[in-house]
Structure 1
């Protein structure tokens, strides 16, 4: 699909994001909600395939049932000109496969943090009886805040839909395929757990456990070969952490975790010192009736000889042979020994020569092979101490890199490359990574953002987030009004508490009966309930001058704080008016003042609040004419943008009126001589 095309009159295609086996994905812009989205469009060559269309529709159904911070949200589903499409949340970042390749080796704590998010998403799916069946790093997105989100439920199946799973039909990626799926069996929740174990293996080692020239050869290894030990690749991995991989990838589903929550609980404590002495996990041995193959060594074993029974009546041949042997004259024996002696001596000489040559080869190899040494463990040492240790081990210091670390103190070694314990030739080069301290994060201005998504992203980074709720007539419910720390500050997430003031929206007010009230009484009521008043005037023979004739909305109406109530005030009996009056109106523009300044401090050590800018202004208008006095408020209102108000004047012919505008306690406009043009 070309860029610029508008799908369904709403989603404008920006560019292609990727292509899959079933659909193509595009970045698009939602013209109505003014946000970027991902559009998944069924491929042109598959639109006439009922099975593919059914899978595509099933993805939409499965994904819309799942609401979780770690699952890509589906916003819309539709069809246009025969094109099936899904509109989903746009995740700006990369997939887990590329993330592993770019950041490997990944710190164990970071591996656990990402896996916990993945497990949380799969747990939500399983609670809705939905099995993903295609869990792999390519289907897990990592955004710029390290929030993991699972996508692509294209082959996910509800447990109740057994008709959609066919025997001998294998769906999913073969590198992450469970043994029961490789055999053509039905996928279960334990099948997803197996795939999660393979993903954890790859995050720890940088590679998948099984490779092969064909998909069939890889599938065979999944149910025939044991998972290689991650500790053979990285001996520093704790046994408790390897046990999570081993239990999740057990060949029999019964030996795996019973559910995803159990795997998450086990993973969460895998780095605990209390589990330092944990033994290697071994699945229970169970003869499942499969054909066993004997090793070749069993076929070559020579049986222990037993005594042979002599048949009755036969002569004792063995005894006879022995008798004949012992009956040989001594002289014969001596002649045979003298005859064989020269040949035996030749063999001894030849064997000695061969032995000397062999020993010479061994000594030569030992003398001329390269001298080897091991990389010392300098993790946590100061740079100077690490350099000395490498020199002592007869190694050279290579490039010194700087990297952030939450675990290793500043100016100390985070890791080496090659890693400690690796055997190298003497004089080989070893690179050092030196800690610059905990990774700092630059705070943004979160005012106006949705609290729920903002708090989730910050908590995933390690922040402690608090919420304070207040009513607001100008900020929608759930949006952030203020933040406790200023935008632009660089902070350490794990050591930072951040408090957001969040709007709960405006409160509702049930209007009282204001008829026959004086203007001051009505204004007092409006102030107490955060309402704005507008006045109109009319002659009345029944209501005394200066009192309310009627109100709009009327008594009992439910309004929100900040709403405007119109009151019609009495001018008294028309017959009592002896002079003619002029009635006219004047438009006054009231500018909004954000209160922002250019010298806002961004000092990291500052503890000031986030911003001095204001999101609303309190405006009070005073009016002087036949019906009003400058000593009392004519109108009070809250503005969030430049606002124009119309002021009505009623003055005796030949006289003038006046007005004054006060914004947040400061007079910003006034006119003491207002007349009809």
Structure 2
């Protein structure tokens, strides 16, 4: 089996195994060129050199590529990669009909009719191309997510003109859906597919197949010996007209079945109609079970069927001889038809055994999983088999140097002395890391999580690396790691560092310029007269307080030039005192004790003491005390008479941390 991740023809990446068969394995794959999921059937490695299997595999490709119908799984491509033959098919999301029946039984009659009509439409197209499916069964019919039926697996389909097919080959297929003529070893016909479709309809209505047995041979014999069970015995509510479709499709004599899939579909379409509510039970024109009573006799003198001979046709005997030897009258000749019948029956059973066992040998492959190479070799020797090719592959479940699987698989029947290949585990699959710096984190995260890593991000600002790109990684390039359970951390850029603007209203131009320089921002200053804001202080700002700014961004402020001289009154020269209010918004920074990071949530606090000087306060008196545990903004207002100036001092735990003099001067 091919490991997931393998790419066929540099185009089809295998994702996981969908199923394993006797001839090929089927994988879910992704078409890297057309960017779509597909199903890829790859011929098994041990059969690559088997001409019969290769011919059969190629026949499936040729048979199906010419069938284009919404109810037939499409074939997209056929190819060969490293001596491995494969075909690429439409990937059907859903389940097969077998599983659908189990999960949805009992299925409403109308839904049964709808599904069967789709299947019959697809088979009619195949028959129109003279292609017989020969292996119709619920497992080979897919039901997609929209409830549509699609026929697949034409692996043993055969064109009517293919004269190379033998009777033994014609017995291939599932015995539960095998027509009587195929069970006898006859060539399959379109009516053989009709019979299988009748059995499928039976199963959809009853939830089971009509014939069961202890072996494939016993089931096959029932197909041409026993009468078809009544679906109405399972469910009396089933209309007789619907049961009649089952009965006509499954008559023992192919001549009594529907002439085509479209004819069966037409009959099925009206089976639930009230006009057919009182329809009589279908009875074939002749007794199908009687046909097994005619046994041909192979003789050098005649080929007349034994059961058809009359006494008048019996060979004449010499009367004298008969009288002389009365004991021989009615001797062994009386039993020779039964002897011939017995011989033919034994031959039939032998042929069935060979057909359904695939020519089984006298040795069985033991279960080698988990064994060492030495143990596997001993187990094969005990089973009269030999150890063949030994390859290695990673495994997350099988310990290193233990057998993952064998080829052929355990339980396979082989001739004594055949070689069995094994695959040994190299341990858990390791993934080689690349240098991911400069790549998008979201893309890398998705890729690495898909293979099993636990991926984390440590985001940091950067003025040079675009946001979302990886700047560093916790594990170096080239390191091989087991993906499952391993955590990888990437340092990811969050873009340039941002800072939120404080309020500059009422602040001095000097304070504004100092703050802008410290944070890498560009100041832009203009001036206006103001009746309320003292000269030299900020009247307005743009952007507003709280706006996030990046390095290099511009902040504009308007500085007051004081009162417009043109508006001064005559009394401005008077000695009478005039009072003005000046405001300062201060951000007092929290100072964390040594060994503790700054920011909110710290356990220690700062003791803040504020002194101001204006017309009502003196710097020698405490204006305000407060306790802070994070950066805190306070507003100070100074009442200044004409010609007076203000000042303030801020002390943090006894040390001056902020001050300003000549306020309003």
TM-score bracket, normalised by the shorter chain, equals 0.3 to 0.5
For normalisation by structure 2, the TM-score amounts to 0.43
User: Considering only CA atoms, is the larger Rg found in Structure 1 or Structure 2?
Assistant: 2
For normalisation by structure 1, the TM-score amounts to 0.43
